[in-house]
Structure formats: C-alpha cells, structure tokens
Amino acid sequence: MWWAMRFDVVTLFPELIAPWLTQGVTRRAFAGPVEVRTWALRDFSDDPHRRIDDRPFGGGPGMVMLAEPLLRALGAVAADRGGDEAVPVVHFTPTGRRLDQALVREIATGPGAVLICGRYEGLDDRVVRTRVTLELSLGDYVLSGGELPALALLDAVARLQPGVLTAPSHEQDSFSDGLLEGPSWSRPESLLIDGVEHVVPDVLLSGHHGRIARWRRDQSLLLTARRRPDLIAAARGAGQLSADDERFLTTLGLY
C-alpha cells in the first residue's frame, strides 16, 4: 500500500465513514493512494459519560460541541501526522464556501486534510477561530451532521486519482470543462415506454467520431445554457468557448 495523501476525519460516528471506503470504484483509491483515518471524538472527552456537548451560553435551542474534546482530538491528529505538515483543517458547515469541482481538484492533488464533522448546533466558535483553515458547505440546506459532506469530499477526491476509473471518464464529467455534461444513451436503440417509441439520436449511431464529439459538445452547451447560464458566462470569461461553441450558442437565441 502507498499513500500520496492522508485524510483524518474527526467525528462522533466513525462507523458511518468506514463502509464507504470498501465499496464501489473509489475503494481502489482508499486502498492507496488516499489514506483515511477516523478519530472518534468521544475518545477525547474527559467526562465520565463521554459527553462532548453542552448547552449554548446565552440560551437557545440545541447543544454545542465542546471546544476541549475537539482541541484534544485535533492535537492528537496533528501529533500523529508529524506535527509540522500544513494541511487544511476543514470544518463542514452550511455557512461555509460551497464545495465545487475546482476546489475538489485542488484538494485531490494536495497532501490531504483534517476533516471536522459537526453535529448538534455546531462547534464552539473558539475551535473554528483557532484551528479551522477552510469552512465548506455542500449547499443551501441543513444536514444533521458533517459526515455526509466529509464522505462527499472523499468520494469526489478519490475518483480523480489515477487508475480509479478504468477510462478517464471524469474528464467528460460535468464541471471538468466548466460545463454540464449532456445526456447519455445505451442499448436498445429503440424502446417503447408507455406506448411511445423513444429512439437514440441518429448521430450517435453514425460512427462518425468528429460529428459525435461536436453533437455532444452542443448538447452540453444546450443543457448548461438552459440550467446554469452562470457557467456559460464563466466558461466564456475563462476563454473555454471556441468559435464553434459561440456559433452554436447564437443559434439557441439565448445569447
């Protein structure tokens, strides 16, 4: 086994993380090069009942994750990592920066990270201010804990590792070239659904690679223009649209 990067997950529920590491194509990455270690936060409580939460100062609903067990856990992680490695310390929170593919790519080529999974109403803010270097959100909705966001990041990083996908299909995935990926079809060529025949677009059966590539690019542009016009603007700004792309977009009458 060889490790190019290491992620340390600090969580109340290490048992939620472990099964993810042995299933699907990404298990190849988690057998090397992506090492994942979990740290059970309750092991760092000094309370006889292993409590790691308490009521918020100032009142209000819910509980807050105590600073001291978290600081001890993060200290143990840092010591285990050798102490001097400057890896991001990530706190998952709905108030953080939205995770996107550009950031996934950046993390996927780095040394790894420490991932803090919040629960309850979140962390005592002193931990965030003194230890966290990156706050990440999965989106504008509220989950019960940071384990799913941690797994989402680990999965997205793992599938970018060389040799994890048999073909480098992530190169055509949505966001890899700044656009959404268009639709796909497989056998049979013709299918009756609720009495209506649905056929695969002719061009995909033509065997003409140049035409197929252009058609796929147009489908990708069409979907992106309809659903995420902000991505079209960003791709244009980044010089990622060719003259043929611009011609196609003009025919849509949207630009």
Residues of this chain that bind ligand SAM (CB under 6 A): 92-95, 117-119, 121-122, 137-139, 141-146, 149
Min separation Cβ 98 and ligand SAM, Å:
9
Min separation Cβ 135 and ligand SAM, Å:
9
Nearer to ligand SAM, 146 or 178 (CB): 146
Tokens representing 217 are 């690019």
Alpha-carbon gap, residue 164 to 173, rounded angstroms? 15
Nearer to ligand SAM, 29 or 136 (CB): 136
Catalytic residue among 121, 135, 155, 181: 121
Nearer to ligand SAM, 143 or 235 (CB): 143
8 in active site = no
Residue 109 CB contacts under 8 Å (≥ 6 apart), including other chains: none
Alpha-carbon gap, residue 198 to 119, rounded angstroms? 47
| Helix or strand holding residue 15 (H, E) | helix 14-17
Min separation Cβ 16 and ligand SAM, Å:
12
Min separation Cβ 116 and ligand SAM, Å:
8
Min separation Cβ 123 and ligand SAM, Å:
7
Nearer to ligand SAM, 110 or 145 (CB): 145
Which residue, among 90, 8, 16, has the nearest Cα to 44 in the 3D structure?
8
Catalytic residue among 54, 155, 173, 177: 173
List 108's β-bridge partners, or say none: none
CB atoms within 10 A of CB 91: 25
Helix (H, G, I), strand (E, B) or coil at 115: strand
Q: Do residues 132 and 90 lie in contact, with contact meaning Cβ atoms separated by under 8 Å?
A: yes
CB atoms within 10 A of CB 29: 26
- Dmax (CA) of the chain: 70
121 in active site = yes
- Cβ-closest position to ligand SAM: 118
Q: Do residues 164 and 29 lie in contact, with contact meaning Cβ atoms separated by under 8 Å?
A: yes
98 in active site = no
189 in active site = no
Query: In degrees rounded to 5, what are phi and psi of residue 7?
Result: -115, 130
Catalytic residue among 14, 53, 159, 218: 159
Nearer to ligand SAM, 65 or 221 (CB): 65
Catalytic residue among 88, 94, 111, 216: 94
Positions annotated as catalytic residues are 94, 121, 159, 173
